[in-house]
C-alpha cells in the first residue's frame, strides 16, 4: 500500500465568467444568442508519450505546479487501501499478448446531461443516451470503428496515440511504477491546468478525471492498470463511497473526488473489484439538477482484444 501524498496549501483562483454564466443565470450577458450548452468534462491534453515523458524533466512535484480552484487534504486511508486492493485484482488478471494486427474493444452504456436556453428564458435540462462500441488498432496504424446511438462510423487511425486518445501500444509503454506514472500524467495535466493557465479545474481534478478516462475507455496490460489505480491513491481529495450505482444498474463501492459541488465516482464490484463504470453526482441544487442527481453515468459492459473492427473480442479483459 502506497502512503498518501503530503498536504499542499494552494491559493484559490477566481472563476471565469463563462463558468459563472453556466452556474448562475444572473451572470449571463444581457442578450445571449440561443445556444446548447454541453457539459464540460476536464480532459488530459493530447500529447504523445514521448512528449509527456520529456516534460517530466522540467515539471515540479507529483502534485503538479498549478493552482487548482480548491484545496484538498491527502487521499483518505480507506481510498488508498481500496485502490491498492483494486490494483492487486487488476494485476492478477490473465495476460494476453496483444498483436499489432488486433483492435482494442470497449463497449459502454450510459447517459449524459446538457443544458440549453428555454424559449421563455432560463435553462432547461436534457438527458442523452450515450451507448457506444469502439474498436481501436493496437498499434494505431489503421482506422477503427465506432458504433453508437447515432449509427456507425469509421474513426481515423490514431497513430502513436496520446494520453487523451490512447492505443494499447502506448499504454503498454507507460511506466509501471505508480509514482513515475503519476509524474508523467501530472506533467501532461500541468500544461493546460497549471500556474498561469487560468484553469478553474486544477491539476489534481484533471489527473483524477484523466486516469478515470484511461481506465474506463481503454484496454491496457494488467500491470499498467494496476499502476494507474495505485497512482490515483496519491491524488489529494480522493475518498470512498460505500454504495454507488452504475449506468447498468449494478451496485458497487467507489472511490471519488469532489470538485465544484460535483462528485466524480469510479465504481467497482464489491466482490471482484472489477471496474464497473463511472458517474458524476451533484452535491448541491443548481441548473444541472437537484442534489443527488447524476450528471453523467457510464458503465463498462465488455472489453477485450478483437481481430477486426466490428467483430466481438476474442480475448476478454477486465
Question: Residue 33 pLDDT more than 70?
Answer: no
% of the chain at pLDDT higher than 90: 63
Predicted local distance difference test score (pLDDT) of residue 150? 84
User: In whole angstroms, what is the distance from residue 222 CA to residue 209 CA?
Assistant: 20
Q: Which run of H or of E encompasses 223? A: helix 222-232
Burial of 61 (0-12, 13-18, 19+ CB in 10 A): exposed
Question: Residue 197 pLDDT more than 80?
Answer: no
Prediction pTM value: 0.78
Non-local (6+) Cβ contacts of 20 within 8 A are 27
CA angle, 244 as apex, 242 and 247 as ends, to 5°?
165
pLDDT, tens digit, for every residue of 142-158?
999 999 988 999 999 99
For the chain, the maximum distance between any two Cα atoms, rounded to a whole number of angstroms, is 59
Question: Residue 196 pLDDT more than 70?
Answer: no
- Which residue in this structure is represented by grid cell 428564458? 121
User: In whole angstroms, what is the distance from residue 46 CA to residue 48 CA?
Assistant: 7
Q: Which run of H or of E encompasses 217? A: helix 203-217
User: In whole angstroms, what is the distance from residue 169 CA to residue 137 CA?
Assistant: 9
Predicted local distance difference test score (pLDDT) of residue 308? 97
Predicted local distance difference test score (pLDDT) of residue 294? 95
User: In whole angstroms, what is the distance from residue 255 CA to residue 88 CA?
Assistant: 16
- Which residue in this structure is represented by grid cell 486544477? 202
pLDDT, tens digit, for every residue of 121-142?
788 889 999 999 999 999 999 9
User: In whole angstroms, what is the distance from residue 236 CA to residue 10 CA?
Assistant: 12
Region 254-278: mean pLDDT is: 97
Amino acid at each position: 500500500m502506497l502512503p498518501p501524498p503530503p498536504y499542499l496549501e494552494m491559493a484559490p483562483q477566481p472563476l471565469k465568467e463563462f463558468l459563472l454564466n453556466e452556474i448562475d443565470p444572473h451572470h449571463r450577458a444581457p442578450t445571449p444568442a440561443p445556444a446548447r450548452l454541453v457539459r464540460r468534462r476536464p480532459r488530459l491534453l493530447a500529447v504523445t508519450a514521448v512528449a509527456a515523458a520529456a516534460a517530466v524533466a522540467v515539471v515540479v512535484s507529483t502534485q503538479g505546479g498549478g493552482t487548482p480552484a480548491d484545496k484538498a487534504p491527502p487521499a483518505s486511508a480507506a481510498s488508498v487501501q481500496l485502490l491498492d486492493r483494486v490494483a492487486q485484482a487488476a494485476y492478477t488478471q490473465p495476460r494476453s499478448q496483444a498483436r499489432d494486427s488486433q483492435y482494442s474493444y470497449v463497449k459502454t452504456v450510459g447517459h449524459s446531461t446538457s443544458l440549453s436556453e428555454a424559449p421563455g428564458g432560463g435553462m432547461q435540462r436534457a438527458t442523452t443516451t450515450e451507448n457506444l462500441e469502439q474498436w481501436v488498432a493496437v498499434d494505431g496504424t489503421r482506422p477503427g470503428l465506432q458504433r453508437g446511438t447515432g449509427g456507425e462510423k469509421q474513426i481515423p487511425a490514431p497513430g502513436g496515440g496520446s494520453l487523451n486518445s490512447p492505443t494499447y501500444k502506448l499504454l503498454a509503454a507507460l511506466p509501471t511504477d505508480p509514482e513515475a506514472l503519476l509524474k508523467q500524467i501530472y506533467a501532461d495535466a500541468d500544461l493546460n491546468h497549471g500556474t498561469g493557465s487560468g484553469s478553474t479545474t486544477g491539476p489534481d481534478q484533471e489527473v483524477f478525471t484523466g486516469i478515470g478516462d484511461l481506465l474506463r475507455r481503454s484496454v491496457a496490460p494488467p500491470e499498467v492498470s494496476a499502476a494507474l489505480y495505485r497512482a490515483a491513491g496519491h491524488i489529494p481529495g480522493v475518498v470512498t463511497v460505500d454504495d454507488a450505482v452504475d449506468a447498468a444498474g449494478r451496485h458497487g463501492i467507489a472511490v471519488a473526488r469532489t470538485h465544484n459541488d460535483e462528485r466524480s465516482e469510479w465504481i467497482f464490484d464489491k466482490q471482484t473489484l472489477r471496474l464497473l463504470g463511472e458517474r458524476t453526482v451533484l452535491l448541491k441544487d443548481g441548473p444541472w439538477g437537484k442534489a443527488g442527481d447524476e450528471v453523467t453515468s457510464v458503465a463498462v459492459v465488455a472489453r477485450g482484444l478483437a481481430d477486426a473492427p466490428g467483430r466481438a473480442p476474442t480475448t476478454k479483459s477486465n
